[in-house]
């Protein structure tokens, strides 16, 4: 099946003209001049800051995508001063241009805070006011919560209580708050966090991040669907047989066992990323491409999800956990042997779920959502499997049935759009073969490329909430997924459903029986 990944017929690739000029590329990066601001990172000594936020900010800096002036106020309990913080964020990394790095790092300041103390957050407010005055950042602030999620409620509450959530009339100067994934543990804690946030911030100030949605190829789904006239007329139950959405990882739990043991694949991937991908695929077109109109349509899709049949879970859900196995010919240990994991853990690292959307467009069309760790390939894709031809006039000359067309939207690492169709082999006999029409997202484009965190940070600075979760969307998704999680966790024998699969294989064998064509998630 892996063989099929390679295009055997490169001659059929679409020729995409590189029409965009360099100036047009630049204008795609930002909408206009950005307002100066301070990015306040809570938890700035952590992994997310050094591994994701700092490189993203540096790339924006190099692409002239940061406001001027722009400051970072890193906060944490660790005692550091500004030079030590600058050293910490650059430690062990080569950013390629030492002079540019020095200029960039000069914007980073450090504020030691104690999250148990309101007085400490008041001193933070004073320090921000002082930085504002000294560097002319205009009072614009973005608070980025990059601490462990258990602190989000405390921080949202503290910031609100000391008045740091306030902003000027009409958002000038602006104050925004960014909440990292995971957005709570269940519906109850999500509602609670939303309530606390709402005490100090308006919804228009809250940016609940989902870095998956900020990937270019995910954003392109809406453009593909709604900026082309030829796909939407066939984008429904009359022409589509089923949809398969896959997010496969080769990595195991790595250093995140503490979090993952509490979350498992359903909370980690399904409540957020998988349902976002489903919504991009299934939502109706909004009248205008505006943040709230797009998010309205997503929420409608979430609310149309058919409640999961908790009494017939096994007909619609396969759960697995990776055992020991081999990745790239190297032995790897089982999930239960990973550091920090309970040796008797029944936390799933793989799930395949069949869901339905109860509305006019999608009635009866199954959506298969699959995600797992320690699978043989890293791959996120959406495969739309169309119905077969209603009548095969070739049935007398062909031994096999005519395969259905499949449209694959590759999200990562392959950033492609691929359509399979049938064609005749040259020769006197009628022999069909399946060929591919393929578009490579970055081919013939030479402008700057934004990774997901760069895009998310830029959108926060621009105040564009399009790609961020809104409160009603978060709660709708938790409402959908919680009965599934509860049915799995609270049954008499919660481990019964879990099937162990060897690391480096495509999940537990039962998955094959759920999805009509496993090729659609394995390739």
**Which stretches of 321-442 are DSSP H helices?**
none
Placement of tokens 């692409």 in the chain: 63
The alpha carbon of residue 55 and the mean position of all alpha carbons in its chain are separated, in whole angstroms, by 18
Residues 41-100 interacting with ligand NDP (rule: CB under 6 A): 43, 45-49, 51-52, 76-78
> Among 19-27, 32-40, 141-149, 462-470, which window interacts with ligand NDP (CB under 6 A)?
141-149
Placement of tokens 């390629």 in the chain: 96
Any bridge partners for residue 247, and if so which? Answer: 371, 380
Nearest Cα residue to 463 out of 297, 224, 290, 307: 290
Nearer to ligand NDP, 456 or 511 (CB): 456
> Among 147-155, 166-174, 230-238, 353-361, which window interacts with ligand NDP (CB under 6 A)?
147-155
Residue nearest ligand NDP, CB atom distance: 46
Instruction: State the binding string over 9-48 for ligand NDP (x if CB under 6 A, else -).
Output: ----------------------------------x-xxxx
CB half-sphere exposure, 367, CA atoms < 13 A? 30
Angle at 352 between CA 347 and CA 355, to 5 degrees: 120
Residue 115 contacts ligand NDP per CB under 6 A? yes
Smallest distance, ligand NDP to C-beta of residue 473, A: 18
> Among 179-187, 221-229, 293-301, 380-388, which window interacts with ligand NDP (CB under 6 A)?
179-187
> Among 54-62, 140-148, 240-248, 468-476, which window interacts with ligand NDP (CB under 6 A)?
140-148
DSSP string covering 315-337: HHEEEEEEESEEETTEEE--GGG
Among 25, 122, 161, 181, binds ligand NDP (CB under 6 A): 181
Smallest distance, ligand NDP to C-beta of residue 447, A: 27
Smallest distance, ligand NDP to C-beta of residue 203, A: 21
Nearer to ligand NDP, 35 or 210 (CB): 210
Among 142, 159, 176, 180, binds ligand NDP (CB under 6 A): 180
> Among 19-27, 131-139, 178-186, 356-364, which window interacts with ligand NDP (CB under 6 A)?
178-186
With a CB cutoff of 8 Å and minimum separation 6, the contacts of 219 are 213, 467
Smallest distance, ligand NDP to C-beta of residue 321, A: 21
Residue 70: Cβ-neighbour burial (10 angstroms; 0-12, 13-18, 19+):
buried
Among 59, 140, 147, 371, binds ligand NDP (CB under 6 A): 147
Any bridge partners for residue 137, and if so which? Answer: none
> Among 65-73, 174-182, 318-326, 506-514, which window interacts with ligand NDP (CB under 6 A)?
174-182
Give the residue numbers marked as catalytic. 273
DSSP string covering 43-61: TTTSHHIIIIIHHHHHHHH
Residue 366 contacts ligand NDP per CB under 6 A? no
The H-or-E segment that residue 221 falls in is helix 216-226
Placement of tokens 């944490």 in the chain: 76
Residue 268 contacts ligand NDP per CB under 6 A? no
Nearer to ligand NDP, 182 or 377 (CB): 182
φ and ψ at 409, to 5 degrees? -100, 105
Nearer to ligand NDP, 111 or 384 (CB): 111
Nearer to ligand NDP, 110 or 235 (CB): 110
- Residue pair 376/332 in contact (Cβ under 8 Å)? The answer is no
Smallest distance, ligand NDP to C-beta of residue 21, A: 36
Site size for ligand NDP (CB under 6 A): 20
With a CB cutoff of 8 Å and minimum separation 6, the contacts of 148 are 43, 259
The alpha carbon dihedral of 199, 200, 201, 207 has a sign of negative
Smallest distance, ligand NDP to C-beta of residue 53, A: 9
Q: For residue 369, how many other CB atoms are within 10 A of its CB?
A: 23
Q: For residue 230, how many other CB atoms are within 10 A of its CB?
A: 6
Smallest distance, ligand NDP to C-beta of residue 159, A: 15
Among 146, 178, 457, 460, binds ligand NDP (CB under 6 A): 146
The alpha carbon torsion through 35, 40, 41, 45 (nearest 10 deg) reads 120
With a CB cutoff of 8 Å and minimum separation 6, the contacts of 506 are 248, 375, 376, 518, 521, 522
Nearer to ligand NDP, 115 or 224 (CB): 115
Smallest distance, ligand NDP to C-beta of residue 182, A: 6
Among 151, 234, 389, 519, binds ligand NDP (CB under 6 A): 151
- Residue pair 243/277 in contact (Cβ under 8 Å)? The answer is no
Smallest distance, ligand NDP to C-beta of residue 46, A: 2
Residues found near ligand NDP in the complex (CB under 6 A)? 43, 45-49, 51-52, 76-78, 115, 146-149, 151, 180-182
């Amino acid at each position: 099946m892996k063989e099929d990944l390679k295009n055997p017929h490169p001659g059929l690739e679409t020729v995409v003209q590189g029409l965009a000029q360099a100036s047009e590329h630049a204008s795609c990066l930002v909408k206009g001049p950005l307002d100066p601001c301070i990015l306040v990172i809570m938890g700035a000594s952590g992994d997310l800051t050094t591994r994701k936020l700092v490189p993203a900010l540096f790339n924006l800096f190099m692409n002239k995508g940061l406001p001027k002036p722009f400051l970072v106020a890193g906060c944490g309990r660790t005692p550091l001063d500004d030079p030590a913080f600058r050293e910490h964020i650059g430690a062990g990394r080569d950013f390629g241009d030492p002079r540019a790095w020095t200029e960039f790092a000069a914007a980073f300041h450090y504020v030691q805070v104690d999250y148990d103390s309101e007085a400490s957050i008041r001193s933070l407010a004073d320090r921000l006011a002082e930085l504002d005055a000294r560097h002319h950042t205009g009072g614009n602030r973005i608070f980025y919560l990059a601490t462990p999620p258990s602190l989000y409620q405390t921080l949202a509450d503290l910031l609100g209580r000391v008045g740091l959530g306030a902003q000027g009339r009409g958002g000038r100067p602006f104050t925004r708050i960014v909440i990292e994934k995971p957005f709570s543990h269940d519906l109850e804690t999500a509602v609670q966090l939303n309530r606390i946030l709402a005490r100090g911030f308006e919804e228009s100030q809250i940016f609940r991040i989902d870095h998956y949605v900020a990937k270019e190829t995910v954003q392109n789904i809406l453009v593909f669907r709604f900026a082309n006239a030829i796909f939407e007329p066939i984008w429904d139950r009359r022409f589509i047989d089923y949809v398969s959405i896959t997010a496969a990882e080769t990595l195991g739990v790595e250093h995140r066992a503490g979090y993952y043991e509490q979350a498992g694949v359903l909370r980690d991937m399904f409540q957020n990323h998988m349902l976002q991908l489903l919504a991009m695929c299934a939502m109706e077109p909004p009248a205008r491409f505006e943040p709230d109109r797009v998010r309205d349509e997503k929420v409608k899709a979430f609310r149309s999800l058919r409640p999961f049949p908790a009494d017939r879970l096994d007909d619609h859900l396969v759960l697995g956990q990776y055992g020991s196995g081999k990745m790239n010919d190297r032995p790897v240990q089982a999930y239960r042997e990973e550091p920090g994991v309970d040796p008797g853990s029944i936390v799933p690292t793989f799930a395949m779920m069949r869901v339905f959307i109860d509305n006019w467009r999608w009635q009866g069309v199954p959506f298969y959502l699959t995600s797992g760790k320690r699978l043989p390939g890293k791959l996120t894709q959406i495969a739309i499997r169309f119905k077969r031809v209603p009548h095969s006039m070739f049935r007398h000359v062909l031994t096999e049935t005519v395969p259905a067309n499949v449209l694959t939207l590759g999200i990562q690492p392959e950033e492609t759009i691929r359509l399979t169709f049938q064609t005749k082999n040259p020769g006197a006999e009628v022999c069909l073969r399946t060929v591919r029409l393929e578009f490579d997202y970055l081919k013939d484009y030479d402008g700057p490329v934004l990774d997901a965190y760069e895009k998310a940070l830029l959108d926060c600075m621009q105040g564009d909430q399009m790609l961020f979760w809104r409160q009603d969307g978060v709660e709708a998704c938790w409402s959908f997924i919680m009965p599934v999680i509860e049915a799995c966790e609270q049954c008499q024998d919660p481990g019964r459903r879990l099937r162990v699969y060897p690391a480096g294989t495509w999940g537990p064998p039962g998955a094959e029986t759920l999805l009509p064509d496993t090729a659609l998630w394995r390739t």
